[in-house]
Amino acid sequence: MDNNNMDMAKLMAMLSNMDKSKLEQGVSALNKMLSKEDKEKIMKELQKNK
């Protein structure tokens, strides 16, 4: 399994263990973060850290 698939499996396992309200809060916070002007900067940082 390559690294990306393993990370996705870890992410899915974490998400499945979160309760619904925490998951909704996390998604909401992520949406707010990505809707800001620095979205491109955040995406470049994430891609750089792969």
Query: Per-residue pLDDT tens for 15-44?
Result: 788 788 888 888 888 788 777 767 777 778
pLDDT at 39: 72
In a domain, 1, yes or no: no
pLDDT band at 4 (very low <50, low <70, confident <90, very high): low
In a domain, 39, yes or no: yes
In a domain, 35, yes or no: yes
In a domain, 13, yes or no: no
In a domain, 24, yes or no: yes
pLDDT at 33: 73
In a domain, 6, yes or no: no
- C-alpha distances out from residue 27 to 1, 9, 22, 32, Å: 27, 18, 9, 9
Euclidean distance between CA atoms 26 and 34, whole angstroms: 12
Number of domains forming the structure of the chain: 1
pLDDT at 12: 81
